Amino acid sequence: MQEQYRTIARAGVHESEINRSRFICALAPVATEQEAQDFVARVRKEHPTATHNCYAYVVGADAAVQKASDDGEPGGTAGVPMLQMLMRREVRYVAAVVTRYYGGVKLGAGGLIRAYGGVVGEALDALGTLTRHRYRLATVTVDHQRAGKLENDLRATGRSVREVRYADRVTIEIGLPDAEVDAFRAWLADATAGTAGLELGGEAYGDA
């Protein structure tokens, strides 16, 4: 598993005009290939009269799924340069759709490649990216009288507190980098006089 990956900070749209053609790049974070395809379909529905709706997406921290479509533009002049831009910027779990409204001036193959790749790069710059790190999910169980202080201490030390549930005992879900599990176990025992339980779960990615 990759230790980290970069993705876009938020969904959004960026538009450029090149030789009277409008190029509208819509970017969205996607967790699965199905989500990417649904996003492409949604953008196509929003622009039914567009000349082309070309797309590219990358799914997987290791970029296991990579797809691109020229949607009627000359082969290799739209989807592929879009995909290459996503890969060059090392963004993952992202889908890009570039909608083109033809303005009457032909751009030629080189012009199309620059336009489609370029507008994706501009959209990435405009929306920003963030890095997600791999971490282990962990559940801390503690009694009610210590729960409030422990939660505050966790947040104060920069821990990623994901959820807090109150029942007979209080369970606090956190994210921990693998390398810090042993040190955290010792800190927790010290902070709660050995009364808290720690259960390790699966792995996930996040801003932890």
97 and 122 together in one domain: yes
Q: How many CB atoms lie within 10 A of CB 90?
A: 13
184 and 122 together in one domain: no
Give the pLDDT band (50/70/90) at residue 110: very high
* Number of residues in the chain: 208
Q: What is the pLDDT of residues 4-44, one digit of tens each?
A: 899 999 999 999 999 999 999 999 999 999 999 999 999 99
78 and 139 together in one domain: no
Q: What is the mean pLDDT of residues 171-189?
A: 91
pTM reported for the whole predicted model: 0.74
73 and 140 together in one domain: no
Instruction: Write the DSSP string, the chain.
Output: --SEEEEESS-EEEEEEETTEEEEEEEEE-SSHHHHHHHHHHHHHH-TT-SEEEEEEEESTT--EEEEE-TTSSTTSSHHHHHHHHHHTTB-SEEEEEEEE--S---HHHHHHHHHHHHHHHHHHHH-EEEEEEEEEEEEEE-HHHHHHHHHHHHHTT-EEEEEEESSSEEEEEEE-GGGHHHHHHHHHHHTTT--EEEEEEEEEE--
Sign of CA dihedral 188, 152, 132, 96: positive
Task: Give residue 174's domain range.
Answer: 132-206
pLDDT at 208 over 60: no
Q: What is the pLDDT of residues 68-100, one digit of tens each?
A: 999 999 999 999 999 999 999 999 999 999 999
39 and 79 together in one domain: yes
Give how many domains the chain has, as a whole number: 2
Per-residue confidence (pLDDT) for residue 35, from 0 to 100:
97
Q: What is the mean pLDDT of residues 179-202?
A: 92
77 and 174 together in one domain: no
pLDDT at 207 over 70: no
CATH number for position 114: 3.30.230.30
Q: What is the mean pLDDT of residues 129-151?
A: 92
Task: For residues 146 and 129, give the distance between their C-alpha atoms in angstroms, rounded to a whole number.
Answer: 38
119 and 141 together in one domain: no
Structure tokens at 34: 């199905």
β-pair partners for 100? 23, 52
